[in-house]
Chain A
Amino acid sequence: MGLQHTSGDLVGNMEVDAFRRLFPLPFFERYLLESIRPDARPLSSARDTTVALGAVASADGSALAKIGYTTMLAAIKMEVMTPSLGSPDEGGIAVDFHMPPVCSPLIKPGWPAEAASVLSKQLTDVIISSGMVNLKELSLIPGKAAWMAYLDVYCLNADGAIFDAALLSAVSAFSHLHIPAVSVTEDGRVVAVSGELVEGNLVKETPIKSMRKLTLSCIPFSLTCLLHKKYILADPTAEEESIMETHVTVVLDLSGRLVSFYKPGGPVHAHTSALQDCVALTRQRVKELQKILNEAIADMDLD
């Protein structure tokens, strides 16, 4: 409280930027009193979000997602593998999340960020457990060959709500994914066929699967909220995240079912009502995100 007093005295003769840096918490609390945030957003609304599909030509499926300044690039590469003995008729998905040193001043090359491996795990859990992709669809020949989808998500600009942007880019990349056509050679190897090859000397092979898209069900979307005193701030920026440390990430799928709920400690002990509010905010956000993704897919189909 002493801090608040000193800051109160100093306010009159201090520039706004200096005040923001020296007393970040009182600065934000003044905004919160008016139910507004420094970037002119109401507390419950998210930043502008865009999705662009097909950002990387060298991948089988890719997407660039932006939430405010936070930018994520996700790309999927398909490889043929031998399915595991336990599930011979299923393919696999391997998810990796990267925070290269370009994205934030806090990351040094050669030192993988701690946050990156945590997010990797979270993304894997959400994508696998949501059942968005039917792994049986990735099967080629039961017991012999199946697709392995390598999903790599790169954070290009870290400005808060990293998980939300990463998940959005990941599901967008899956909705853009085109599984290559494959055929089996005489010696039993599975090879991809591109259009030009069909006329070549490899015609003997029997094409077993043509180029296709995955059918996605129950696509998961997420919203991260900050809890501070009685306030709930949706979709925080990096600055807000650094000042107010309690955050809650809610993942819901399109039918409104809860896929994942994540509140990693923090100084604020959330009441059930606050958590319910977070879920309600996420429900609204899921509708927004679904619209944004559908528009991106429609744009892609037009081209």
Chain B
Amino acid sequence: MAGKSSSIAPTTYSPSPTLKVKKKQQQQQQPIFKDVDWVRPDGRSFQHCRPAFLRTGAVNSASGSAYAEFGNTKVIVSVFGPRESKKAMMFSDIGRLNCNVSYTTFASSIRGQGSEHKEFSSMLHKALEGAVMLESFPKTTVDVFALVLESGGSDLPVVISCASLALADAGIMMFDLVTSVSVSCLGTNLVIDPITEEESYQDGSLMITSMPSRNEVTQLTLSGDWSTPKIHEAMQLCLDACLKLGEIMRSCLREATSAPHE
């Protein structure tokens, strides 16, 4: 901190990202996704999620932790507790869930941008609250801390899925694993698990957070331009992907327990 304030001239600016965006906007006046044979920047088909890499036990001093890597989106989540609630809090018969999402300064292409984490923290809380059996740890708090190491699109869904994996790793009782997937609407196309570039020119987005084996939805957000049949299609797409992601997470947990520890 001390080093930062002394020598920085106030006129710093980041040349590369701004220029790239400008260039992109020039191209985007005739958006490429209107073409029939449009391909996604990373070569996936519209209904393909990015390959997911999940691992538990990333932080040894936490009760539970998980690391998730979906393409360029890299997230680490630690769970602490159940431990003593903050002194100022009122007595509570049931447990509390405390969530916090933060970004590294180099997560996005422009340095030091990541101000939406307050909103993400409360979204993460709402997404997990319904799945965690709060009455199993009365009077105490479970802290869920997420750090987005690199933001590559669909950040919140990855954070939510990774957080539920970390909760499972910590042995916190849940009704089911929580999995989350988002879909972007680009013109007439629905693309699943969008990257940052796709998110930047989407017409609408839909995110579902579900407990796949109970077939229950804990959170659904919808923004932008949608028609009813499109919503149905997108929801079905998301729920299918959630089911598959749930299986991947389960196998990750199984591997962690079957492997000889330490």
Contacts and interface: CB of A to CB of B under 8 A. Distances in A.
B72 A58 contact: yes
Interface residues of A, number: 54
Given A82-B11, A96-B3, A120-B2, A154 B146 contact: no
Interface stretch (B36-44, B106-114, B123-131, B204-212): B106-114
Given A79-B14, A81-B9, A124-B3, A96 B105 contact: yes
A96 B4 CA distance: 7
B15 A100 contact: no
B238 to A, nearest CB: 26
Nearest to A159: B60
B1 interface: yes
A194 interface: yes
Interface string B1-21: 111100111011111100110
A154 B145 contact: no
Contact of A81 (B12, B107, B111, B143): B12
B104 interface: yes
B102 A94 contact: no
Residue from B15, B23, B72 whose CB has the most chain A CB atoms within 10 Å? B15
Contacts of B13: 79-80
B151 A58 contact: yes
B104 A80 contact: no
Nearest to A201: B26
A243 interface: no
Residue from B1, B80, B106 whose CB has the most chain A CB atoms within 10 Å? B106
Nearest to A91: B7
B8 A94 contact: yes
A109 B8 contact: no
A156 interface: yes
Contacts of B147: 100, 102, 154, 156
B4 A94 contact: yes
B192 interface: no
A96 B60 contact: no
Contacts of A104: 61
Chain A at the B interface: mostly helix, strand, loop or mixed? mixed
Interface string B190-219: 000000000000000000000000000000
A62 B149 CA distance: 11
A92 interface: yes
Chain B at the A interface: mostly helix, strand, loop or mixed? mixed
Nearest to B121: A109
A56 B150 contact: yes
A196 B20 CA distance: 10
Contacts, number: 144
B164 interface: no
Contacts of B61: 103-105, 157-159, 238
B76 A156 contact: yes
A102 B78 contact: yes
Interface string A137-164: 0000000000010101010111100000
A191 interface: yes
Contact of B106 (A62, A102, A180, A191): A62
A210 interface: no
Nearest to A237: B60
A80 B15 contact: yes
A32 interface: no
Contacts of B32: none
A190 B13 CA distance: 10
A293 B118 CA distance: 38
B8 A148 contact: yes
Given A94-B3, A154-B104, 11 more contacts: A73-B149, A96-B3, A101-B78, A102-B145, A109-B102, A156-B149, A158-B61, A159-B60, A159-B61, A189-B15, A192-B19
Return the 7 tightest CB-CB contacts between A and B, nearest first. Answer: A124-B3, A192-B16, A75-B106, A102-B78, A101-B145, A192-B15, A81-B12
5 contacts: A56-B106, A58-B150, A101-B145, A152-B104, A159-B61
